[in-house]
């Protein structure tokens, strides 16, 4: 059986060990939290693109109204400062890739470097990625693209820990 004096001599050792390991545990906890926030942001923009394409296809709402509603419901993401939305109307043509009939860019974005639609523009389409849609002549689909510049907790202005998330849905 250990004496009382033995516990008094080693009682401070546990506190010192805890103080030494605490920064590592906090850093690990912050990393897990940051990763969870990134996953949440990616899921949010996936849902936004899905809902945007659905609303553009099924309602008579103006595209700007749809994009404003999507941005307003994107909380806790700050779409005005870090995001961009495009809704593109694509038409099928015989024997070729879909063509861009109309494209609407969200007017609420305040990004200094606005990302360009990956589908292209009506003047210069790059719809090769949508060739698998196999649209018949005259068929129309709506594509909603959402961009979001995610800022990591550990990021500085030009850090590699910052990432632009992207999601596209056609409906």
CB atoms near residue 26 (< 10 Å): 10
Spatial distance between the Cα atoms of 146 and 84, rounded to a whole number of angstroms: 6
Q: Would you put residue 30 in left (φ > 0), alpha (ψ -120 to 50) or beta?
A: alpha
CA angle 123, 126, 129 (to 5 degrees): 150
Contact 93, 137 (CB under 8 A): yes
pLDDT score of 51: 98
Q: Give me the tens of pLDDT residue by residue for the chain, a chain 171 residues long.
A: 565 665 566 668 888 999 999 999 999 999 999 999 999 999 999 999 999 999 999 999 999 999 999 999 999 999 999 999 999 999 988 877 888 999 999 999 999 899 999 998 888 877 667 777 888 898 999 999 999 999 888 765 555 556 899 999 999
pLDDT score of 60: 96
Predicted structure pTM score: 0.86
């Amino acid at each position: 059986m250990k004496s009382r004096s033995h516990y008094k001599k080693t009682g401070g050792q546990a506190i010192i060990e805890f103080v030494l390991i605490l920064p590592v545990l906090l850093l690990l906890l912050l990393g897990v939290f940051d990763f969870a926030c990134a996953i949440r942001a990616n899921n949010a923009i996936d849902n936004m693109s899905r809902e945007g394409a659905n609303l553009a296809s099924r309602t008579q709402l103006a595209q700007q109204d749809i994009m404003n509603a999507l941005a307003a419901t994107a909380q806790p993401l700050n779409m005005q400062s870090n995001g961009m939305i495009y809704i593109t109307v694509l038409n099928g043509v015989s024997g070729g890739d879909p063509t861009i009939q109309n494209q609407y860019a969200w007017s609420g974005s305040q990004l200094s470097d606005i990302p360009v639609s990956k589908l292209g523009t009506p003047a210069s389409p790059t719809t090769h990625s949508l060739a698998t849609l196999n649209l018949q002549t005259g068929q129309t689909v709506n594509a909603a693209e959402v961009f979001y510049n995610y800022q990591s907790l550990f990021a500085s202005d030009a850090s590699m820990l910052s990432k632009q998330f992207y999601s596209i849905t056609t409906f």
